[in-house]
Chains A and B, each alone.
Chain A
Amino acid sequence: MSPAANKLGVVPAPVITATALTKKYKDFAAVDGISFEVAPGESFGLLGPNGAGKSTTMRMVGAVSTRTGGDLRILGLDPDEHGPEIRSQLGVVPQADNLDQELRVRDNLIVYGRYFGIPRAVVAKRADELLEFAQLADRAKAKVDDLSGGMKRRLTIARALVNDPRILLLDEPTTGLDPQARHVLWDRLFRLKEQGTTLLLTTHYMDEAEQLCDRLVVVDKGAIMAEGSPAELIRAHSSREVLEVRFGSDRNAMVAEQIAGVGDRIEVLPDRILVYSADGEAELAHLLREGHAPITSLVRRSSLEDVFLRLTGRTLIE
């Protein structure tokens, strides 16, 4: 899919261009020749399991880790030569919080703003706005250690925004958070997206990718398996609906053999059987007619999880 053209029909230059991007540690290729482009204002995701090379990619895009092969341009600049220039335009939310626990909440923002040469008075005002945005205004003087996981995450995001970045890099932004904290965070990220901030995020949560990404690549073992919008990927690699049936872990495999041919395709997982079909209810009715009575059954829409399973033969969270 090409980035949206503006009124004059001019396609804006991509803010990130990776071409056959590679990172090798000795013989091991953590990132093995991936190519993608991110347009300004776009929300782009790297979806894949742990160890797929997502974080390494983010560190290269973040102009911290040096690539060992291929080409990379951020805002048209080569990170090998223009690391500080590129980083001055980025906001980075790493996978593990790296807030300064010696400093209070608000001071974390102020100290960080200074790295971008923002005058103290300006950064102080900006810190207050960002605390408001991150819903932490009443915690300004708190110690970082006293914040909940979700609050720390929001503070990390606020810190990443202190320089008003052109691109925000988010590495697994909601991993380890409870569902409520995740939703609060998604809401904040959605607002940034609405304001036109370019987001590059990695996740192994399909619902997060579906919520936040305009477009994404599915990565596995350092390579791109597929690319498109969540809807496109589901259309291309899965059926409209999925019927999930459970016959008990000792019987699933056996039943799966008996019902082979039902639906478009069948996947057997240790705990359940997935029947891919345009009409899940119809398949369920068919199974019941054939005398297969599952312990539980569920019909749902196809998700990116199914796309991943189809492409790699594995589930995202193992």
Chain B
Amino acid sequence: MIIELGHFALVLALLVAILQMVVPAWGAHVRDRRLMAMAEPAALCQFGLLLVAFLALMNAYVTSDFSVANVVANSHSTKPLLYRISGVWGNHEGSMLLWVLILSLFGAAVAAFGRNLPDTLKANVLAVQASIAVAFCLFILLTSNPFLRIDPPPADGNGLNPILQDPALAFHPPMLYTGYVGFSIAYSFAIAALIEGRLDAAWARWVRPWTLAAWMCLTLGIAMGSWWSYYELGWGGFWFWDPVENASFMPWLAGTALLHSALVMEKRDALKVWTILLAILTFSLSLMGTFLVRSGVLTSVHAFAVDPRRGVFILAIMTLFTGGGLALFALRARDLRQGGLFAPISREGSLVLNNILLTTACATVLVGTLYPLVLQALGIKISVGPPYFNLTFVPLMVPLLLALPFGPLLAWKRSDVLGAAQRLMFAALLAAVVLALDFAVFHRGPVLAPFGLALGAFVMAGAVSDLVYRARLGNVPLAETWRRLKSQPRSAFGTTLAHFGVGLLVVGVVATSAYREERILVMKPGDEVSIAGYKLAFRGVAPATGPNYRAEVGLFDVTRGGAPVTKLEPSKRIYDAPPQPTTEAGIHVSWRGDLYVVLGDAQKGGGYAVRLYFNPLVRFIWLGALIMFIGGGVSLSDRRLRVGAPGRARRFAAAPAE
């Protein structure tokens, strides 16, 4: 019964979305306030209905209702509660429902918080937002309905893939979707602005918080996925340049560019046309990510034939929204007035460079991901793997990272590089020290690695230099410095944090890629092996049982310089349902890096294959991403940007740019 209620709510949500798409847009066209006013309750109602639908499905999962086909296919009664809940979005149908739920949540948030938006803009934004919801509700109902019953119901379900039964993965998809879908707001605002033919700095001020929130979630979502693959897959890699990873990385790159170009538009009323285009492209890339993952075009090697109707449907949605958006852009962009002027060497100029490099990087990832697919359609099979991206993407990041600390130090309109360079003296000095130390200490690894570490240090120190300069540390008494620091807007701290996080991430990536240590060997109980200053003694293998799996656990005593450090217990699990094996690495975490032990197969001659890795500074990667996320949050809490305070922003927008 509850499941039918959910099904019904989904159909109702579709109808509400259709109304929300048509009526307010018509109202905006004929300037009828009553028609436009419908957008707000419709958006809230649509969200409420989708929430009911989603909770109904979740209820079926939690109570293990095996009369629902979707639950049978993806859940099992012995699964722990957390994974019964995360199982809702652990499959295609459920995850699409989550997708539209988040979409409608953003729409409802605009309706609830955007009270100060001009009537027509708000009506158009919510109408465009609803049109996306219509497309995806139809998609779910016609091709991927999670509310279908199965008769007769089986005694138990098939279970969730065991490697997905993991806390980080339980929250990874919702984060990722919030990121993807959050960019829909930027898209809706862009389309609404094009429809109205009106675009000013206030527009950027409304769009930026939403973009920032989406970007934060996408950052954390990608980082979670990377962290998960690091500890779960058993070879300690953190990024594989896999098409599916790239699918989430492209919107991130474009979204990062959008965040920065919207800044220029907000402060200086410049780069308008470009920002609009970028908003359309960012959401289009999110849709393409959905298409690539859902359509089955990426899975051609394995015969997991995905329903081709789904692929065609999503392709149609993608074509409609991307093509429609770009067509509207082509028609109306010329009407948009160009805004503030600036010299090439200026804050705006640095942000233009940021955008050029990020867009190029995004295009590189795009072409690297799609090229094999296109050639395959022509009957040619080629592979584009990590070596390609290392040769193309990485060199693009170098100038970006080099220029990054300069950006916030340049003045708006016109500035000079020399002044900024002086303020970065300390950061450059620190980078030089890191470079020299690195060359002195490490005699192995790629020769470019020390430069990479120095670059990361430069970015980190450069980010801090900006605040130090703003507070005039050293030039004025400490109390004055403190006062100045306190009077800085929160967004300045947000910028510093986010940029610092980027530097930290770079250091982590370079260090762990270049200086990773590895031992692969056969160990018998009693054997000892040393790696990176640790000594590991293998005591043997013991059996163990978990709630829904059996395991073989390897026992290792770790010592360093004779002193005990920890015990590591890497294991191999066999899950009950579905009966699949997984490896659980034994990881010892320290600031220096991770000691990572994987238990392999029993060998014919006795003993076990054992893999040991030392991944130096690998935590910096996710710590960096987390700091970027926090930086975004700090920036979002700035009152100038606060979601709920666009009225204030509106008045400020009339004041001259700083």
The answer to whether A and B come from one shared complex is no
Interface residues of A (CB under 8 A from B): none
